[in-house]
Structure 1
């Protein structure tokens, strides 16, 4: 599933909405589309445990009923972990940064740690990437809030006796242009000649509000949780089209829109 594109996931969700008979609202005009909004979708080839989306429904539904119906209708490997009624501002304002885990098989943890220190010490680390508008050069360093290195037992890959590996844990701000984990890896190659012998395994662990002091990422769904509201109004007839937010921070399994 990590190799499913964002468009593949969006199509799977639309089919699941129909199978689960969830009354999603549609846009007006000659070509109506379901009102589904994605924020910060993970790149193709990347797994994720923290993807979020917003649904607008044409009529009220119990959030848990929506979650159960969607989860049962989604393909194997994509789990809908949590659905909440939207009570706060939009998700785009809350998803300020992502935490990533990048497994580097064949890379010694000490070598990776030295490369990370060199990267963090640099004033700027410019890389190039092909975009829709052609090849673009941009500085990745300001977006990287934290970059740590770990390893498995004895620095060996799970289930392998002779292959060492390192695990990078990074927190990256959501900026424009977007800085992805592979951009940071390209930066490590430029500043410290760190070149993994095999393709890295990248997983998004969390998205949410960023604490600039500690580099920690908070739960973006906190404003929507019932505990955050002491009173709940009845709302007007115009409020029958409810927003639903799907997702959960760092769940034990991927959520709708994830690339497990």
Structure 2
């Protein structure tokens, strides 16, 4: 009977540990940035073009730091990541575009007012700390920070890869395959919590709420388990 009771207690203790474990965690270990210059608290595998986005959103100063990784369609091609403040597609987007210029990587900014007009120039929002690198796996990475609208909860993002650049540094047109045309989506900066309030994805406030909720769940689970132990004894 003692052995049975002991086994039951071990099983119940394991269940209790499972119940009080955090229900939400951010794990970017499987989506490492080539080069890994910086730690990012959020990451996502984008649905097309074998690309990933790592980012940190700072609600205090309305800034977004990103590391966009993708492989260009050719060895000497380009990659681009953009925010569209006015629509969901490519037209109207503000793009960061990287390519290899001789032996070094460069990042340029483009206003894409229409599908036929890709103009290099300043973006409609501030950007800084722009740089790019090429990884040994054939992928390129764009690093940068940008100013986003205050209290923004989500952004329209667009990403793309292309075959190369002209001799004057102008990006050549990308392919119009299914994946190229579907390379757009919503980037959520803020996640909703049960109370209906919102908090930035990397915010410590959200972590405290999760911790508090977890403690309550842990107490309730502990009381339930004590009751079960009493019955077994």
TM-score, shorter chain, exceeding 0.5: no
Name the TM-score, length of structure 1 as normaliser: 0.28
The structure with the greater share of residues assigned to helix is 1
Higher relative contact order (CA 8 A, sep 6+): 1
The structure with the greater share of residues assigned to strand is 2
Name the TM-score, length of structure 2 as normaliser: 0.30
